[in-house]
Amino acid sequence: MKNKGQWMIASLLATALLCSAWAVQYFVPKKRPFKIPAGWPQPVYDFQKNPLTEEGIALGRTLFYDEILSKDSSLSCGSCHQQFGAFNTFDHPLSHGVEGQVSFRNAPALYNLAWMPSFMWDGGINHLDLQFLAPVTSHQEMGADLNEVLEKLRKNESYRKAFKAAFGDPTINTQRLGKALSQFMLTLVSDNSRYDKVKRGEAQFSLPEQLGEAIFLQKCAVCHQPPLFTDFSFRNTGMTKDLFLQDSGRMRITGLSADSLSFKVPSLRNVTVSYPYGHDGRFFSLMNVFEHYRKNLRSVPQTDPLLKQPLALSNYEIGQLRAFLNTLTDTSFLTNPAFAPPGQAFRHTAPADNHQ
């Protein structure tokens, strides 16, 4: 009798253990540590408030590539942020939005966002989790009503499951949408260019690359500060105002005339593939950018002190700078299958209520 009782307790315990192991395996999101590349600063994103998990990242990736987030289901985040262009709009100065609209600015490349203290060319948004609200609701971009988007997602069985897997229960709300998109975007780390390999001692610069780096450190690096290739400040680089777009940059946010035509310093990682350049995409090639810095700067009181005078750059030096900038292309980032649109399997598990 005593033996039987012990046996029953033991088997109950074993079942409980098995069940909890099963629950851990299936219901607890699997943590993904965020790796800080050697020698890089601490990220500014607060991962404690939104810890990366495999399920959260997978959900964010599906959302990033799903047209369900736009008014007429014609556009996804990935339509304007294309991987082969380092997640900018490849080859377009301004991006196309819903119903033939055109966005106000050039879509920036997306990578290393965990280090970015503010978003948009004018820094108008200060948290990555909130950033998606701008494109989803902007008439010039996805033109959607947020409540309608949430309703569409809630009706979708596979999204309910995916939100449950990522957050523990199937509630779908604005906050979770932002967190999931952030989780995917935070994984877009570009740290494996030839430049990085040289810095890690795995490769060596050629002579032109080395000379280019020296010029870069002297003339560009204050603003385009390695290793992120931006200091995240807002600067007026002596560009004229586009008369049609009438974009005054940072001044739109602060209201200060001192910020007129100041824009966030873009990173130059992957710059060879992220053309066109500048906040309105006015420069089609790197040569246009160099011509701006050495000939076309317009000095106004707000122009950055470093750019009051055109930069002295000979054709020879430009060749070397180009060689250096080429080393910032991170092919493993641009072709990483983990960043590409997810396979069709997830999206079509419930085709009936998707994209209505």
**Site residues, ligand HEC (CB under 6 A):** 64, 69, 75, 77, 79-81, 95, 97, 103, 105, 107-108, 110, 113, 119-121, 131-132, 135-136, 141-142, 181, 185, 219-220, 222-224, 235, 237, 239, 263, 265-266, 268, 271, 274, 277-279, 286, 289, 293, 304, 306-307, 311, 321
- State the nearest-atom distance from the C-beta of 196 to ligand HEC, in Å: 18
Of 108 and 226, nearer to ligand HEC (C-beta) is: 108
- State the nearest-atom distance from the C-beta of 249 to ligand HEC, in Å: 7
**φ/ψ bin of 313: left (φ > 0), alpha (ψ from -120 to 50), beta (otherwise):** beta
Reference 73, options 8, 152, 138; nearest CA is 152
Q: Which two tokens stand for residue 333?
A: 């980032």
- State the nearest-atom distance from the C-beta of 169 to ligand HEC, in Å: 23
Q: Which two tokens stand for residue 24?
A: 């851990």
Of 29 and 93, nearer to ligand HEC (C-beta) is: 93
C-alpha span between 150 and 143 (Å, rounded): 14
C-alpha span between 90 and 82 (Å, rounded): 7
Cβ atoms of residues 190 and 330 within 8 Å? yes
User: Around Cβ 130, how many Cβ atoms within 10 Å?
Assistant: 14
- State the nearest-atom distance from the C-beta of 26 to ligand HEC, in Å: 28
Distance, first Cα to last Cα, the chain: 63
User: Around Cβ 233, how many Cβ atoms within 10 Å?
Assistant: 15
Cβ atoms of residues 314 and 322 within 8 Å? no
C-alpha span between 352 and 130 (Å, rounded): 30
C-alpha span between 276 and 268 (Å, rounded): 12
- State the nearest-atom distance from the C-beta of 264 to ligand HEC, in Å: 6
- State the nearest-atom distance from the C-beta of 58 to ligand HEC, in Å: 15
- State the nearest-atom distance from the C-beta of 242 to ligand HEC, in Å: 10
- State the nearest-atom distance from the C-beta of 235 to ligand HEC, in Å: 4
| Cis, bond preceding 276 (omega within 30 deg of 0) | yes
Cβ atoms of residues 264 and 304 within 8 Å? no
C-alpha span between 61 and 32 (Å, rounded): 15
Of 152 and 219, nearer to ligand HEC (C-beta) is: 219
Q: Which two tokens stand for residue 7?
A: 């046996």
